Amino acid sequence: MRIAIDAMGGDRAPDKIIQGAVESLEFLQSDDEIIVVGPEDLLHEKLGSVLSTHSNIRIEPASQVIGMDESPVEAVRQKRNSSIVRMVKLAAAGGADAIISAGNTGALVAAGVLMLDALPGVERPGIAVPIPNGHSRVLLCDAGANVQPKPAHLHQYAILASVYSQTLYGVQSPRVGLLNIGTEDEKGTALIKETRLLLEKDSGLNFIGYVEGRDIFDDQCDVVITDGFTGNVVLKVIEGMGGSLLRTLKDQLAQLPAQTADELGPIIKKTFSLYDHEEYGGALLLGVSTLFLKVHGSAGKKAIRNAVHAAKQATRHNINARISAQLSERVA
């Protein structure tokens, strides 16, 4: 398989990203290929002799970089030669089977939604974000690709997210919840009620029924299905609340003796990192022909190696073929 890696994305780019890419060669097979995307001269210099000693790593030139804080849609439109846009374009042209980046999540998703083909049978790609909840993680889908979905779209997301939960996280029979404002039958919008009927009828899903916002943190389910509007709001509320609580707690701790505060720093940092989805894994674009792995912004070489490994595993499990087969069997 051919795995394109954005050398310029993330806080530790390019050095740690490139090191991760090179180390991945150790466990790849000779017919696998790593494609490192970024400024040609820089990558030549950083990769050095690796290019001559290994035939299965090459450079895809991209002269621009999209910063972590740039406005996503604008950046994608204007920086046509950025590593993100070049990487996604390469995949769109059939030149990569998987893409990996630690860069600007919004820009990656925007480029993916705009440029990549949908898998056969997929009506609309969806964004899935693994939300860490202290115990494990809940795959929230859709997190913003499709703000006014039809019930059939949400049904597809339930199937897609279940396959990803199995393949990437090893959850045997992912529990799927449909996000609603109560668990009683009469609760919710027409979209929710119609979607529930579709999910209930699909015996291939482990559908547990309606879940509420608080259940994301309750270990009630592995997959939470919602429209892209609600999903995106949920994601940003979680981000905002985590950041705000952490700041307030730090202010409070500043009143303690320095030694106590020092003792606590790591514990508090660790606790909050258990809830930081950006730290945990970023995002997946489900339903496109290319496996799309956004790794966390602070990814180093280990995270890149793990992502390459996950991409190989997903391919070994024929993730796209499984999705297509399940969609053609189970979707009207």
- Binding of its own copies at residue 222 (CB under 8 A)? no
Span from 17-25, 34-42, 263-271, 287-295 in contact with its own copies (CB under 8 A): 263-271
Q: Note whether 330 and 176 are within 8 A (CB).
A: no
Task: Give the span between the Cα atoms of 109 and 204, in whole angstroms.
Answer: 28
Burial category of 203 from C-beta neighbours within 10 Å (exposed 0-12, middle 13-18, buried 19 and up): exposed
Least Cβ distance, residue 271 to its own copies (angstroms): 5
Q: What is the DSSP letter of 167?
A: H
Give the Cα-Cα-Cα angle 172, 178, 179 (nearest 5 degrees).
125
Please compute, for residue 276, the number of CA atoms within 13 A of its CA located in the half-sphere on the CB side.
16
Tokens of 121: 């049978």
Among positions 8-67, residues that touch its own copies (CB under 8 A) are none
Rounded CA-CA distance 5/59 in Å is: 10
Identified binder of its own copies from the candidate list 272, 279, 280, 322, rule CB under 8 A: 272
What is d(CA 36, CA 45) in angstroms, rounded to the nearest whole number?
Answer: 13
The only residue of 94, 118, 120, 147 in contact with its own copies, by rule CB under 8 A: 147
Return the beta strands (E) in the chain as ranges: 2-6, 33-38, 57-61, 98-101, 126-132, 137-141, 175-179, 206-211, 223-225, 284-286, 291-294
Distance CA 332, CA 330 (A): 7
Which one of 229, 298, 322, 324 is in contact with its own copies (CB under 8 A)? 229
Interaction of residue 95 with its own copies, rule CB under 8 A: no
Using the rule CB under 8 A, which residue among 61, 233, 280, 324 binds its own copies? 233
Could you say whether residue 321 binds its own copies (CB under 8 A)?
Answer: no
- Measured in whole angstroms, how far is the alpha carbon of residue 125 from the centre of its chain? 13
Q: Does position 248 bind its own copies by CB under 8 A?
A: yes
CA 18, 96, 137 angle in degrees (round to 5)?
A: 70
253 interacts with its own copies by CB under 8 A: yes
Q: Which is nearer to its own copies, 50 or 191 (CB)?
A: 191
Q: What minimum distance in Å lies between the beta carbon of 232 and its own copies?
A: 4
CB closer to its own copies, 50 vs 246: 246
| Binding of residue 230 to its own copies (CB under 8 A) | yes
Select 181 or 325, whichever has its Cβ closest to its own copies: 181
Is there binding between residue 157 and its own copies (CB under 8 A)? no
Identified binder of its own copies from the candidate list 8, 107, 176, 179, rule CB under 8 A: 179
Q: Is 114 in the site for its own copies (CB under 8 A)?
A: no
For its own copies, the closer CB: 237 or 325: 237
Single out the residue of 52, 214, 258, 332 in contact with its own copies (rule: CB under 8 A): 214
Q: Are strands 137-141 and 126-132 parallel, antiparallel or unpaired?
A: antiparallel
Write out the binding residues for its own copies, residues 124-143 only, by CB under 8 A. Answer: 133-134
**Residues binding its own copies: what is the number (CB under 8 A)?**
55
Contacting residues for 73 by C-beta, under 8 A, at least 6 apart: 106, 107, 110
Please pick, from the candidates 38, 188, 282, 297, the single residue that binds its own copies as defined by CB under 8 A: 188
Residue 85 near residue 58 (C-beta atoms within 8 A): no
Interacting residue ranges for its own copies, rule: CB under 8 A:
71, 73, 133-134, 144, 147-148, 179, 181, 184, 188-190, 212-218, 226, 228-230, 232-245, 247-249, 252-253, 255-256, 260, 263-264, 267-268, 270-272, 274-275
